Amino acid sequence: MEKYLIKNLLEKDKIEMLPTRDGYGKGLLQAGEKDNRVVVLCADLSESTRSHWFAEKFPNRFIQIGVAEQNMATVAAGMANYGKIPFISSYATFSPGRNNEQIRTTISINNVPVKIAGAHAGVSVGPDGATHQALEDIALMRVQPNMVVIYPCDAIEAQKATFASAFNGSPTYIRLAREKTPVFTTKETPFKIGKAEVVHKGKDATIIACGPLLYEAIVAAEKLKKEGISVEVINNHTIKPMDAKTILTSVKKTKAVVTVEEHQIMGGMGSAVAEVLGQNFPAPVEMIGVHDRFGESGNPEELLNHFQLTHPFIIKAVKKVIKRKK
């Protein structure tokens, strides 16, 4: 699998940097070209969600809703009920935050294929502060029956996830980030909704990561390799439905897990992994994520370090979890 990732993976200064929201914008264009049922709705944030590219190319299929996320969810539910494929675009704190009940009733219980793009997820939003840094959205979305939850690791994967979700026939949440992050997958890297990918092979512990922090997880694995610790890394981009098979196959081999995500520990991807392990193959788990607090202003790098989400903390967690193995 490693061959599918870019070659100079660890030379961060040479890697292309793009925000995952760019991938969303490109994925919308690609889906819009393929199928004219695709429509894009936006709540007064078209440039920062990158839905303005779609608006420029397909003005008749772009619907400006204004600052009204609840209405955006309900209008999209109606359009999907009719037969369109609507994408609703805003910041994750507002959608699926503010409009959570509308999503539950009119999208999830209705079971209509609305795609919810939550941009500006995580503390890496930076200076805007806690109100705009969504840390609860995975928890909100993964507890809704019928909802698919995807958290792409870079702009290329975000484009693939956006395109694929247009045609999966289900309510789907796509989690996106504001900040530029390394583009380390390629067009050839496999991506299938619901299929986790082993991106780094190892035997002493399994790091299960999602979103742009997957890059930090791979860096941690490479550094640990030099210390003689062999770590498997899984790109768990689809949080729901979770690929239990890939996770269990790896954990049965390594018997120790570190989960990595830019989200609250409670209810996030790591919690979902713990649910799978607890019921199938109990193993020690260390969790990298935000521990029951809100974010704050700062630059993204400062904040990622402050909240202990970067590779030095992942390395520490791996060593700790290996010690916990019986």
Partner 1 sequence: MPYWQYVKGGLPIGRQNSSTGVIDNKEIKKLELMANNIRQDIIEMLLEAGSGHTAGPLGMADIFTAFYFHILNHNPKKPFWEDRDRLILSNGHICPVRYAAMARSGYFPVEELKTLRKFGTRLQGHPEREKLPGVETTSGPLGSGLGQAAGIAYAAKMDNRKFRVYALMSDGEQDAGNTWESAMFIAKNKLHNLTGVIDRNNIQIDGNTEDIMPLEPLRQKYESFNWNVIEVDGNNIGEFVNAVEEAKSVKDRPTLILANNVPGKGVSFMENRYEWHGNPPDSLNISGAPPKGEQGKKALEELKSIADKLK
Residues annotated catalytic, as ranges? 69
First to last CA, the chain: 30
CA dist 253 and 230 (Å) reads: 12
CA dist 208 and 258 (Å) reads: 6
Residue among 110 and 249 whose Cβ is closer to partner 1: 110
- In three-state secondary structure terms, 94 is helix
Residue among 60 and 279 whose Cβ is closer to partner 1: 60
Segment lying near partner 1 (by CB under 8 A), choices 108-116, 210-218, 282-290, 311-319: 108-116
Segment lying near partner 1 (by CB under 8 A), choices 81-89, 169-177, 216-224, 286-294: 81-89
CA dist 154 and 159 (Å) reads: 9
Establish if 78 lies at the interface with partner 1 (CB under 8 A).
Answer: yes
25 to each of 132, 150, 162, 180, 263, how far by Cα in Å?
20, 16, 9, 14, 23
Exactly one of 81, 170, 297, 308 binds partner 1 (CB under 8 A); which one? Answer: 81
Establish if 129 lies at the interface with partner 1 (CB under 8 A).
Answer: no
Exactly one of 100, 106, 189, 250 binds partner 1 (CB under 8 A); which one? Answer: 106
Segment lying near partner 1 (by CB under 8 A), choices 16-24, 61-69, 181-189, 227-235: 61-69
- Token pair in block for residue 304: 């990622």
CA dist 60 and 54 (Å) reads: 10
CB 142 within 8 A of CB 271: no
Establish if 276 lies at the interface with partner 1 (CB under 8 A).
Answer: no
Establish if 84 lies at the interface with partner 1 (CB under 8 A).
Answer: yes
The binding site for partner 1 (CB under 8 A) comprises: 39, 60-61, 63, 65-66, 68, 70-71, 73-84, 86, 101-102, 105-106, 109-111
